[in-house]
Amino acid sequence: MKNECAIFLQWALPQMKMRWSGFRKVHKQVCKRIRHRMNTLNLPNFGEYQSWLANHPKEWDVLDSMCRITISRFYRDWAVFDFLMDNLLHRLAMKAKYENRPFRCWSAGCASGEEPYTLALIWHFVLRKKFPALDFQIIATDIDERLLERAKKGCYPKGSLKGLPKPWLDKAFSVNEIGYCIHSSFSKSIKWIKQDIRISFPSGMFDLLLCRNLVATYFEPSLQRAIFNQMKAVLRPGGFLVLGRHEKLPDEIEGFSSKLEKLNIYEMSANHIFFNAP
């Protein structure tokens, strides 16, 4: 049956606290993995795989690992990074400097590292000279150890870098048989951590939290609410949460005092509002 896998996912995803609507446009990537797994198990159809899940509870962990979407690239959603570069990062850096502490960012669901490396590039080329003594830290987390190892190596196909300004590409990358490899100096500010956002968070407080195309896309509403409420505890007052361009916070989430509508950037409540969205 042509839609057999889609029907299977509509049954299975809610049982893993995920939602079909987030996977609708990308489910073929997941279905390809599942079909490969079924071939490995010598299961002829999705009905047999459903029975296999019923009889082998640990298989749910395998299925969960096959439902990870890994689409990413440097400077993804350029308007978001332009706004961070031109406005938000400078203002948050000023606040961290005034409070005499590190400026900390968290890239949640960092995949192969394109997002945290983009932040590192912006800091190096645009902001570092303005804040030479400020300790700029990026915590990059992902559940997939394979992707994190790829991120640590920092080598990418040319198509992943097409959003970067050419001068940055020329200065920050070397080209070899593997692809475009970012210079090791740009990873010094990044700490890579294998972590499942559904279970645990990195320690400490953050000025900026990027959680794009993850929680608000793929997880069911109750799990979204639980995670975003926990995120409030690790965002500094006046800090910011950045979601994907087609995402939004659940209506029940309180504590965010302002919102940049077009870019889905939310500010944590603070007595002093450090940034006012236009």
* pLDDT tens by residue, 161-185: 999 999 999 999 999 988 999 999 9
Mean pLDDT in residue range 21-40: 95
What is the rounded CA–CA span in Å between residue 29 and residue 66? 9
63-67, 246-250, 261-265: segment of lowest average pLDDT: 261-265
> What is the Rg, in whole angstroms, of the alpha carbon atoms belonging to the chain?
20
Confirm if 142 and 65 have CB atoms less than 8 A apart: no
The tally of CA atoms less than 13 A away on the side-chain side of residue 141 is: 18
- Condensed to tens digits (0 to 9), the pLDDT of residues 208-252 reads 999 999 999 999 999 999 999 999 999 999 999 999 988 989 888
Rounded mean pLDDT, 108-136: 97
Strands 155-156 and 180-182: antiparallel
75-78 contacts: CB < 8 A, separation 24 or more?
A: 75/118, 75/163, 75/164, 76/114, 76/115, 76/118, 76/163, 76/212, 77/212, 77/244, 77/245, 78/163
| pTM, full prediction | 0.92
Indicate the class that CATH gives domain 78-268. Answer: alpha beta
- pLDDT, residue 276, reads 43
Task: Give the closest residue to 171 by CA, choosing from 126, 125, 115.
Answer: 125
Q: Would you kindly state where each structural domain of the chain is located, as residue ranges?
A: 4-66, 78-268
